[in-house]
Structure 1
Amino acid sequence: MNTVSPYSILRDKRLWMVIGVPVGALAFLFAVLYVGANVDPGDHLHKLPIGLVNADEGTIAGGKQVNLGADITSSIQASAAGNDKFEWKLMTSDELHDQLGQGKLYGALVVPRDFSASAIALTSSVPTAYPVRPQLQVLTNASAGSMGSSIARTATTAAAEIASRNLGDQLSRTAGSTALPDASQVTLADPILVKVADGHPLPANSGLGLTAFYYALALVVCGMLAANVINGQVDHALGYAHTDLGPVRSHRPRIDATRVQALAINTVTMGAMSVLIGTLVLAGAVAVMGMDASHLPLLWLFSVCTIAATGAGALALLAVFGTPGMLAAAVVFVAMAVPTAGATTPLQALPDVYRFLAEFEPLRQVNGAIRAILYYDAQGDAGLTRGWSMLAAGLSAALVFGFGTTALYDRNGLDRVPPPSA
């Protein structure tokens, strides 16, 4: 009779090492990746794209054609020449509309068509009770990311305030000794009125531009967790592992299967279950919680494919690395993915290593495609084309890695260890 107490394993150093090392490393990695991405986004800011439009038609002043809007945009570009935190992109109104509608800009500063005429009118000696102040329009774009839009708004507002002071000095010099009405003299101290507007309005139930990220995160996490469940249940069905349901433990007779065959069964099961999981995620988000969504058939199809690809990747890691494969999946699909998704913190405000990871991390690609479907009318240039291509590349890489490595295991006689006898 075995008289060894089961509690004696608590004195086994190997047990503590096997548990403590991977769990501790994972905890440390999560903290470093999550906090490191957001601890100082302003310091890491690099070329955040902001639109700059001069629609000013100009006016005649002193017998000469003047365009004060061109002076402002040129001044902004000149002052930003030595500052690589922002990338001021001079463009037309149509180009601005297109790029805001594709999430390629975080904000914009627009000089309206009557800017020069309104500014020069302030130097008129004709009394005016309420002088019409020239305006600059600051456009935000929460659909591209709330933090990025906020940073862009701060930058554009600051640029508008500097432009207002400079224009006031310029108009005061232009007026010279002209006797201006009191109202105009007061206005010249800060002549420009800054108006803030949403450059790409979002539907009401869009989470201020974050529903795409949380929906994408749900797809990736569901795919990863489903892979873990499928892997365990297929092992149970093949007799390579037992399963517990409450106090009941069950075990089936073993069916010999190669590693390749087991992975094939897992992958086929994952593909079939992706249809169910993708449908339920869509139903829960849209039908139950009321998330605003357009292009529902496309959203459903991309959801199913995302879950299938993510699950295939997780299953490949489990097949190759065994139990540690789930930790590897957590690192790839969650730990490194969330900080590099470009949803909360813009990619331009991340450290270089995060921007590198964002080039291939699954969640960033999925988030971009979902955002294109939900916010940008499913335009390919808004991230949908990249999402599809990266999804296909990720699925291909997972299948090659998983089946290639398990085939190598099989050829070298690395059979799966049968369960111990009862």
Structure 2
Amino acid sequence: MFWAQFFSRHAFVQKILTRNSVTRWTSKSVKHGWAVCLRSNFFNSSNNYSPKLVLGIETSCDDTGAAVVDDTGNIIGEALHSQTEVHLKTGGIIPVVAQQLHRENIERIVKETLDFSGISLDELSAVATTIKPGLALSLGVGLEYSLKLVNKYKKPFIPIHHMEAHALTIRLTNQVEFPFLVLLISGGHCILAVVQGVSDFLLLGQSMDVAPGNMLDKVARRLSLTKHPECYNMSGGKAIEHLARQGNRMHYELRAPMKHHANCNFSFSGLQLGATKIIVQKEKEEGLQEGHLLSCVTDIAAAVQHVVAVHIANQTHRAILFCIKSGILSQTNATLVVSGGVASNQYIRRALQIVTDANDFNLLCPPPRLCTDNGVMIAWNGIERMRAGLGVLHSTDDMRYEPKASFGVDISKKVEEAAIKVPSIKLEKNLLK
């Protein structure tokens, strides 16, 4: 009688036991099923506890993501549609194509997330959605769909800043207290900031031109790496990292950017130009037209990746020293969090590990799947905001998306005025090990 009642009252557990092999069920899914049962207080007749459940929706660029996360940090359900394969064929992200693919997939992705979680829209506490920054046409799809949901089901709406969500993802997977230093490196951004609270950031530095992920993608396209038999289905950054493992970075000399600037800003356009000059020169030497694979792609990939890693590590080192000198961070909260798509690059992580080890800092990164754009980080940011009582809206009148958006309070001039010199920690030598 007990188990008959148990299974009849908890359809989600039935799904776990009867789901066919097509759906991706894991031991983690079973754990989530039990979590749903425990949250419903089947074993507690008083039923006093009502969990907060947030649906997160992400469409800032080229991934359509959704997830349901609860206020204890459980990922109840998630789904993601990647457009990478399409954009590899077109040679880059075309906004109107990305928009159309979001439109075609967003309803399915949200439905899969809810089905997976066993949660109905009526049970949600709020809907959180990325509204800034990002591609205008992509942001518009997510916002339009979300507003229809919140208006139909009378749910609070939580607008999310995409980069703030990346910065706080680590608090879902690790016990990290405020304040901490964060480095956000992706296809669209390169940011160093101090996270003082849920919506309280001090901007130390950012890219002055292109972002590292964007630059790596462009170099990969110029090298025609989609024609390489090992890289035809990889994004540009992944292809560069993969081939760099086989190459010798010493064969080509590229200058690390901004060596004589005492700030924490980044610049990758000069590096991209330098790499392009090398590629053009090698094409002439090998008698190849643009669009054909060079024999030395592994060495060029290794050289480019190395300079990117050194530049990021040097600027991050200065940020650490500034935070210590200014008293913003102490030894008790000496943590560097690295997130964003480029954070999954293991060579760049090694460079940052060398820097953090030299300064007795902890280096933390979310799992790779949470470093790239996803619905989980949006839902979690919604939970963080709900807890802090920040930006939970019960009226969505005049809600707009913002393709460009500032990030925190800019104190980059104070960093420059501090004129901190970065000591040598033999980064080049240590990366050879």
Q: TM-score, normalised by structure 1?
A: 0.24
Higher RCO (Cα < 8 Å, 6 or more apart)? 2
Larger proportion of strand? 2
Q: TM-score, normalised by structure 2?
A: 0.23
Larger proportion of helix? 1
Larger radius of gyration: 1
